[in-house]
Chain A
Amino acid sequence: MVLKPKSKKGSHKASENSSQWPLGIPPLSSTKKYITTKYLWIRVGSIFTGFCILLYVFSKFFNPRDNTSSNNYPAVHGLYMNELAASSRLIFPHVEHATILKEIGIRGLYVFRADIDGTKQYVLKADDKPLTDEEKKKSTDQVYLVKKSFLDHGKLVYRKKSDEPEIVIVTLVDFERYDLENIVKVVQNRVDYAQIHRYGVYVRWIQEFLPVMSNQDMDTNYDFYKALVMRAALHAFPRTKSFLFIDQDSLIMNLNLSLKKHLLDKNILDLALLRNVPIKPGSNVRTYDHIDFNAVSMVIPQDENGILDLSSFVVSNDYYSKAFLEFLIDPIVRDYGWQESFPSVVAHVLQWHPQLLSKTAIVVPKVMASEFDDTRSEDEVDAFHYTEGDLVASFKGCRVAGTCAKYINNMYARTKKT
């Protein structure tokens, strides 16, 4: 209303003013012409303020910094450049291919390259293109299709904005050392559990990561692959909070126990936390008495001998976990020629890097990795061994003893009963 043009009624005085003052601004002290003066001032003032505010607002909107933000840099990608969007939050390979994959062998899956400097190894083709649906239909070569499905499995990433899992269960399966029947049960077990709680599943063949390693004798560094698959899982589910790794020698027994309520809850962690214990036997570095449960990035159990148990562990999607995992798979650490086992390497990382240790909860195995021992009676309850109702039964050392198939068969049947 202030800016309304002068009506004819009021134009008399105004014209008088403007004739006297060519610029239309009469002296301030003139009381007679006070009214018009005032409006002129308000008008000029408001136009000026409005202009300033407009300018200020626009300068906020069109900040040059916002326009140039990182658009020119390559987008984040995993081991493969070309990725496939997963349709489901349950990402697991075609387990039925296990026998064919075993026949094809590593030699048939990857390119074997011998360099001039004498290194001979399998290499990963990072720019490998995934097979399109059309190509899949056209091809009748069973072996080729199985091989491509093996190579394309690593390209799957979950990018849906809806229905995002809060927790993802990660497992490595091995078609060379385990039977099909065994693999099917392990994968089904993870899927069953995830379905009940609407979690995600991320299962990969351990052989998928072989070409990443410089030492390709899998038996010598079998456990380092856990760090590789976990890092891949963090990338596949970028907005998921927690990732639980469970190895293939373990089964989730209590399918109804929610991981979030059972383990990642502050109060449970508080009870399960091992305080002021050496990180590995004989170490001078001990776990902290107090940690901030809201800022815990990693949860790792420690067994009765004081050795970290990496058969199952939790990491979160933050840079503490990323630093932890990437440090473990950094060639300079991974290929050091460790005389110690993987748990001891993890203990080394934690004891030399207090920033990581302060984000790690070392817990009793009972909450996530109870050791199964069929010679024990079910009545002997302690913090380490499996009893009915525990979340996970871990068949430690069964691969060496050759008892994995037996245990997994028996125990898998038990989970189906309940």
Chain B
Amino acid sequence: MSELDMKYDDGKSLNRYNDEDNDKKSLTFLKRTKLNFFRVHNFFHSEIGKSKKTLLILFIVVFLFFWITDSAIPDTFIDQRNQDSTSESIGKPMNSKWFSRSKDPRFVIILAANEGGGVLRWKNEQEWAIEHISIANKKAYAKRHGYGLTIKDLATTKRYSHEFREGWQKADILKQTMREFPDTEWFWWLDLDTLIMEPEKSLEDHIFNRIDEITDRTLKNFNPLNLELDQPYTDYSEEMDLLITQDCGGFNLGSFFIKNSDWSRLFLDMWWDPITYEQKHMVWEHREQDALESLYANEAWIRSKIGFLPLRSINAFPPGACSDSSDDPRYFYDEKDHDFVVNMAGCNFGRDCWGEIQYYANLMRKLNTKWYTRLFF
């Protein structure tokens, strides 16, 4: 022991290490490692010794930052990609919080533009302006959080009308988008008459990190259609692949999430069938919405995969919609609660779309102005 003391400056510490360790072999091994360690250490000590503390603090801060923040932010995609360039043969890339090789963003927003066809008449100025506001709103949101955005033109709706199946364009667009973004996890369908009121909220924080807490799998608590609650073979232990909302009239597909999965592709395929539509096209006023309700009511493989979000979480209504139940707080946008999205559903049926979107766009600007931005104006 004393030899060691004489040999190395740091002998004392070794003494302390090996007080109880009398095995010679391990001593020499330890000795060697310790020696190497101190060599390196001394080097650093002389070179950057003074800033070591700062480095440690820096390291801790960086570590905590990466740990706490959810994920690195990838680039935004705004539907600029050539369809041919997306090859389907690429295997599923590994996607983790830390390491992402995927080309596609985790979330892609699908915005339906040109609703109603745009074939029968010219769009007027206000309609152009509404479209402009709505698209700019989603663009800014997608850019902020690194999500994808793809704008789908519904101008070809009329092509579907000879088979009474206008609503089915939605399914076709979703299928097409799934091919375009093979690695994306979730697609968020948004109608044009929507505004994201709280662009600061990310989809992860707002929905997907607490998905089990905010979704309801059954209709027990809210059942505007009075559908049968119990259904044989429904398995609620399965993961949700389709997140929708219900308004006063039943299922609402103005804003919903669908997962990029085999189940979803099968569902989109089964959604439309000529037999069901031949029987129901006079009854089903809301086309694909009614068809989904029918599938939900009767087929367990559909019911097992659907989750219901509260309407106000992704699809809050202005007072004009659902006006028969205007005292029910479950439906309507509330600025005090900072509801995420407002959907001016049905505003072109006797309501003033332009007025409503202006009102909510101004409100959004007001709500999201920080105190320091006022300094610059």
Contact = CB atoms under 8 A, between A and B. Distances in A.
A79 B232 contact: yes
B13 interface: yes
Given A28-B50, A70-B212, A319-B266, A352 B41 contact: no
Contacts of B236: 70, 73-74, 76
B63 interface: yes
Contact of B10 (A35, A64, A353): A35
B61 interface: no
A10 interface: yes
Contacts of B41: 38
Contacts of B13: 35, 38-39
Contact of B217 (A65, A70, A326): A70
A353 B265 CA distance: 11
Nearest to A65: B212
Size class of the contact patch on chain B: 35 or more
B280 interface: yes
Given A7-B19, A77-B232, A323-B301, A333 B266 contact: no
Contacts of B50: 28-29
A127 to B, nearest CB: 9
A69 B280 contact: no
B266 A323 contact: yes
A76 B265 contact: no
B275 A333 contact: yes
A10 B12 contact: yes
Given A70-B236, A77-B232, A332-B298, A56 B67 contact: yes
Given A29-B49, A327-B299, A332-B276, A78 B16 contact: no
Contacts, number: 115
Interface in A185-208: none
Interface string A89-109: 000000000000000000000
A415 to B, nearest CB: 34
A330 B299 contact: yes
Contacts of A45: 56
Interface residues of A, number: 50
Nearest to B262: A319
Contacts of A65: 209-212
Contacts of A355: 265-266, 269-270
A126 interface: yes
B218 A336 contact: no
A348 B232 contact: no
Contacts of B233: 76-78, 231, 234-235, 322, 326
A48 B57 CA distance: 12
A323 B270 contact: yes
Interface string A1-41: 10010110110000000000000000011000011001100
A52 to B, nearest CB: 7
Contacts of B263: 319
B202 to A, nearest CB: 17
B82 interface: no
A153 B367 CA distance: 63
Closest CB pairs A-B (n = 7) = A73-B236, A355-B269, A76-B235, A322-B301, A326-B299, A330-B298, A355-B266
Given A6-B16, A326-B298, A330-B294, 9 more contacts: A1-B17, A70-B236, A76-B236, A76-B237, A322-B301, A323-B270, A326-B301, A353-B269, A353-B273
6 contacts: A52-B63, A56-B67, A64-B213, A73-B236, A74-B218, A77-B232
